[in-house]
Amino acid sequence: MRRFTFAGRTCVITGAAGGIGAALTLELAKRRAVLVLIDKDAEGLTRVADLARELGGADVSTYVIDLSEGGDHSDLAAEVSSRLGGADLLVNNAGVTLSGTFEQNRMADIDWLLEINLHAVIRMTKAFLPQLLARPGSHLVNVSSLFGLIAPPGQVAYATSKYAVRGFTEALRHELAPRGVGVTVVHPGGVRTGIALNARLSGPDPDGTQAAENRRFHETALTLPPEEAARQILAAVQTRRPRLVITKEARAADLLARVLPAGYWTVSQRIARHLT
């Protein structure tokens, strides 16, 4: 499959108002891509779109959509097809997390997370798949997580969604590769986005324990600039890499899980205690 070129290609990005999605938007604008940006944050979306236009984005469209509300997104896909001829690159990037243990988690919150992290990925892919198949050299990116490679306590719902995204993407890649559509699954680890700070709390948090833990995780574990993650993702798209694990720590964790699939968490905790 030929290398992906960005100039003049229509790129659809979910979660574009911040974090990796915003960084991807600005990197693609520099490459003169046609941009279709999706997020529920109208103010943030406008800000990112304006920056993209200043950087040379050939055409920038924004759609304020709350992916937690479901829907098949066929109207959006039809509008992109009618106005722009169809999508060449779809990046399913939007994601949320939920604090607390599975025992603490409410089913309504788990359903909310799964709708955004998993079902929206499936729904968006289904909606835009005819366009990707019709556009020679198109590409699909689904953003999983380090927690789609390892599953820590306190992240049951999130890990469930991200492991599912990984399996969905890998199986879909095997279907689409013979038809000329590139597919990449991305496993970011420790990228400095607002996902931890914006985590939904599991019920009441009267002493602020959950919120404090979210802040600690944001400050100590999320260190890689999203701009660097975006550059790595676009390089993976360009070269048609099927799988991208971002940060050396994530790659080490991935290797450990492969070597010790039933014992990696115990070993990783021992290593962490030794280092501290």
Q: What is the pLDDT of residues 81-127, one digit of tens each?
A: 999 999 999 999 999 999 889 999 999 999 999 999 999 999 999 99
| b/e sequence 122-145, b meaning 16+ C-beta within 10 Å | ebbbebbbebbeebebbbbbbbbb
CATH number at residue 153: 3.40.50.720
Q: Rounded CA gap, 109 and 228, in Å?
A: 31
pLDDT of residue 219 exceeding 60: no
Q: How confident is the model at residue 276 (pLDDT cuts 50, 70, 90)?
A: low
pLDDT computed for residue 177 by the predictor: 94
pLDDT of res. 218: 47
pLDDT of 224 reads: 84
The catalytic residue among 63, 158, 163, 264 is 158
Q: Is the pLDDT of residue 152 over 70?
A: yes
Q: Is 158 a catalytic residue?
A: yes
Domain range spanning residue 30?
10-247
Q: Is residue 267 part of a domain?
A: no
pLDDT of residue 269: 85
Residue 265 has pLDDT above 60, yes or no: yes
Answer whether residue 96 is part of any domain: yes
The pLDDT of residue 22 is: 96
Domain presence at residue 263: no
Give domain status of residue 237, yes or no: yes
Output the average pLDDT for the chain.
91
Residue, of 207 and 219, whose pLDDT is higher? 207
DSSP string covering 245-266, please? Answer: EESHHHHHHHHHHHH-TTTHHH
Does the CA dihedral 127-18-231-186 come out positive or negative?
A: negative
Within a domain: residue 193?
Answer: yes
Percent of the chain with pLDDT over 70: 90
Tell whether the model's pLDDT for residue 247 goes beyond 60: yes
Q: What is the pLDDT of residue 270?
A: 84
Q: Structurally, how many domains does the chain consist of?
A: 1
Q: pLDDT of 154-205, one tens digit each?
A: 999 999 999 999 999 999 999 999 999 999 999 998 887 766 667 777 776 6
- Is residue 272 in some structural domain? no
Q: Is the pLDDT of residue 53 over 50?
A: yes
Tell me, what DSSP letter sits at residue 201?
A: P
Residue 72 CB-density burial (10 A; 0-12 exposed, 13-18 middle, 19+ buried): exposed
Does residue 68 lie within any of the structural domains? yes
* pLDDT bracket for residue 1 (50, 70, 90): confident
Residue 87 · residue 137 · CB < 8 Å: no
In sequence order, which ranges of 209-259 are alpha helices (DSSP H)? 209-221, 226-239, 248-259
**Nearest-angstrom CA–CA distance, 34 and 217:** 35
Considering the domain boundaries, does residue 266 fall inside one? no
